[in-house]
Chain A
Amino acid sequence: MANVEYRSVGKNFGTVRVLNELSLDIGEGEFVVLLGSSGCGKSTLLRMTAGLETISSGEIAIDGKVVNGVHPRDRNIAMVFQNYALYPTMKVRENIAFSLEVAGKSRDEVNAKVEEAARVLSLTDYLDRKPSELSGGQRQRVAMGRAMVRDAKVFLFDEPLSNLDAKLRAHMRVEIRQLHDRLKATTIYVTHDQIEAMTMADKIVLMQGGGIVQVGTPDDLYDRPATRYVAEFIGSPQINCQEGEIVSDGADVHFKNSEVSLPLPAGYAAHGGTKVTCGIRPNDVQLSEEGAIVGRLKIAEKTGADKQMHLDVNGSEFVAVTPRSTEGVPGDDMRFAVDPGKVHIFDQSSGHRITTTLSGA
C-alpha cells in the first residue's frame, strides 16, 4: 500500500501535448476514479503510473519515491487492462501464477495464493481452462485474479468493465469495490462511465482535455460541480441547462431568460447582470401549478420506477423526472418548480460555477 503523487506531470506524443501540468495526490488505500470522456488522457496517465509510457515533464512518486526512471517490473504495481491481456497459451492457473513464479515464490505458496484468488473470484472450476474457453466476465475475473495475487502497492484498472454487459457490469462494480475494501490497496480506476465512478469511488478525478477539472467525492461533484462540463458529465439523466442572465432588483434575485424566471438565493445578488448558464437536475424539479419552468411536452418516457418528461423549454431540451403516475401527452404544457438552493449557476463565458459567496468557483 502506498500513496501516489503527481507533480506537474506532462506528456507529449511527438508534438502533441496530451497531458498538461497535472498535479494530484492519491492517499494510501484510497479508491480513486479517473473519469473523463474518450481521449482526455486517462489511460495515458495510468500507463505513466505503471511505467509503460515515459514521463515528458514533472514527476510521479509512489510511496514517496520518484519513479520516473523506474522500470515497470520494479514499481510493484498491478494492472488490469481494458482488453485483459491474458496470456492465451497459458491456463487460467498459470496466468494467475505467472507473476508469483517470476518472483521466485515456492510452489506451495503459489498454489495457495492461486487457490485463494480463484475462490474469491469464483474461478475454482475454471483453473485448468485456457482463456479462449472462458466468457467475457470470466476473463475479466482472471485479469483481476492476476492482479490480486500480487502484493502490489498500487492497483491500476483501465476500464476493466467496458466489455461486459450491463448486468454483469453492475455485479462486478460491487465485487471490485468489496475487494478493495478487503485488501485496502491504493487503487486508481479509469472509466468514462460516470455511474461506475459515482458508485465506486472514494474520490473522483474528473479530467478534460489532458487536465484535471475537479477532484472530490462523488457527492462533491454531484452537488457542487466546479464547471458546467462537470455538471453535464455527472448525473443521469443529464443536467438541464438554460442560458440567461441574473437579474437583481433589490431583495429579489432571479435567473431570467425569455420564458423562465427562476428565483435564486439572495447570495447571487452581487452577480446581477452576469450572463449565466443555469443548471437544473432532472430529479430536482417537482410538478407544480406555480412553477417557474414552463415547457411543452415532447415525449414521456417510462423507465419503470418513474417517468422522464422530455420538454421543450425556451427552445432547448429539458428533462424532468416525475412519479410514474404523472399524466401527460405530447403537446401538453407542464409547469415545474425547483428549490432555489438546488440550482447550479455557471458563468457563461468561463463555464465556472458561480457561488453565492463572492469567492467564485
Chain B
Amino acid sequence: MMVRSKSSRVLRSVVAWGTVLLFAFPLYYWLTVAFKDGKEIFNYPPQVWSFSPTVRNFEEIFGISLGFGFGEQREVLPGGGNWRMAPRLWDSIVIAVLSTGIAVSIATLASYALSRMEFAGRHHFVSWVLSTRMMPPVAVAIPVFFIYKELSLLDTYTGVILIHALMNLPLAVLLMKSFFDDIPHEIDESGMIDGASRFLIFRRIILPMVKGGAAATAVLCFIFSWTEFLFVLTLTQTGLKTVPVVSSTFVTSTGTAWGNMAALGAAAMLPAFLFILLVQKHLVRGLTLGSVKQ
C-alpha cells in the first residue's frame, strides 16, 4: 500500500461518497414518491426529506390493507387499468428465475466445451455466438411473434422464458467461457490421469471452481429478464405480464399514477435485490487460488 498524505485520503473519500450519493439520490427520491400521497408528489419545491409517508400506493396496487388506517380500497382507478399487481410480480419472478436457470445451465455446459474442445472453427465460434445479439431486438420481435403464434407459445410462460433464455445465452456463454479459460488445462489433465471421465471432471472438479462465475452470470441474466420490455409486450396479451410492461398501465388517459408506479417499482426491486443477495456470497474472485503456482 502506498503511503498517501492525509488530505489526499480525505479527498478520495469525499469523491467516493459524492459518487455514491449521485447514484443513490434518484433511487431515494423515487422511493419517497412511492410513499407520498398524490398531492404531495406534485408539491413545488419537491419535498425531499419531510413529507407524511403513507402506504396507500402499495395498498392500491396490491389490493390489500396494510392496516394503517387507509383501509378502503379502490378496485379500479379512474382511467381503467389492471391494479392487481401481485400476480404480475409473480409472473416476473417465475420468468426471470426460470429463464436465468436455463440460460446459465446451457451456457455452462456449452462454454466448458468451447473452452476445452479442439474443433475446426472454434476461434470463430465465439464471434458467431455473439453475432446473434447484434440485430436489434425489434427486428426479431415480429418474426418471433408469428413463429410463436404457429407454435401456440403466445401468452405462455414457456414462450417468454424461452425467448429470455435465448436472448441471454450468447452473453452467458461468453462470460462463462472466460471463467473456464481462466482454469489451467492441467487441472483437467490431472483429473484425466487420475482416471476420471470428462463429465466427472466437469462435475467434481471444474464446476465447483466456476460457481462464482456462474453466480455473476446469473445476476446479469436475471436483471436482463427482470427489466426486459419489448418481447414481453409483443408476446403476451392477458395470460401474463411482467412488471416493466404492466407499469406502463399507470399511464392512463386521465393522467399518470406516479405514486402507484413508484410503489410498483419499489416492490419490484425487492425480489431482484433478494436474488442478488442470495448469489452474491458465491461472487468470490480468485477462484483458482491455490490450485496452481502464482
Contacts and interface: CB of A to CB of B under 8 A. Distances in A.
Interface of A: 50-52, 71-73, 75, 77-79, 81-90, 98-99, 102-103, 130-134, 136, 139, 146, 150, 163
Contacts of B186: 81, 83, 85
Complex A-B, nearest 8 residue pairs according to Cβ-Cβ distance, in ascending order: A132-B290, A88-B291, A99-B194, A85-B186, A83-B292, A89-B208, A131-B290, A85-B190
A51 B205 CA distance: 20
A85 B187 contact: yes
Given A72-B193, A73-B192, A78-B193, A83 B290 contact: no
A130 B194 CA distance: 19
A98 B189 CA distance: 13
Interface of B: 184, 186-187, 189-197, 200, 204-205, 208-209, 287-293
Given A99-B194, A131-B290, 14 more contacts: A71-B192, A77-B193, A78-B193, A83-B186, A85-B186, A87-B204, A87-B205, A87-B291, A102-B194, A102-B196, A132-B289, A133-B290, A139-B290, A146-B190
A107 B135 CA distance: 55
Contacts, number: 89
Contacts of B290: 86, 88, 130-134, 139
Contacts of B189: 50, 52, 72, 79, 81, 85
A75 B209 CA distance: 27
Contact of B193 (A73, A84, A90, A134): A73
Interface of A, helix, strand, loop or mixed by DSSP: loop
A87 B187 contact: yes
B190 A79 contact: yes
Nearest to A98: B194
Nearest to A152: B193
A136 B290 CA distance: 9
Contacts of A79: 189-190, 193
A84 B186 CA distance: 8
A50 B195 CA distance: 12
12 contacts: A52-B189, A71-B192, A73-B192, A75-B193, A79-B193, A84-B291, A85-B292, A86-B292, A88-B209, A98-B196, A99-B193, A133-B290
B195 A84 contact: no
A262 B280 CA distance: 76
A342 to B, nearest CB: 41
Contact of B289 (A78, A85, A88, A146): A88
Contacts of A77: 193
Given A139-B290, A163-B293, A85 B195 contact: no
B196 A89 contact: no
B194 A146 contact: yes
Q: Give the residue among A85, A131, A146 with the most B Cβ atoms within 10 A.
A: A85
Contacts of A73: 192-197
Contacts of B204: 87, 98
B190 A102 contact: no
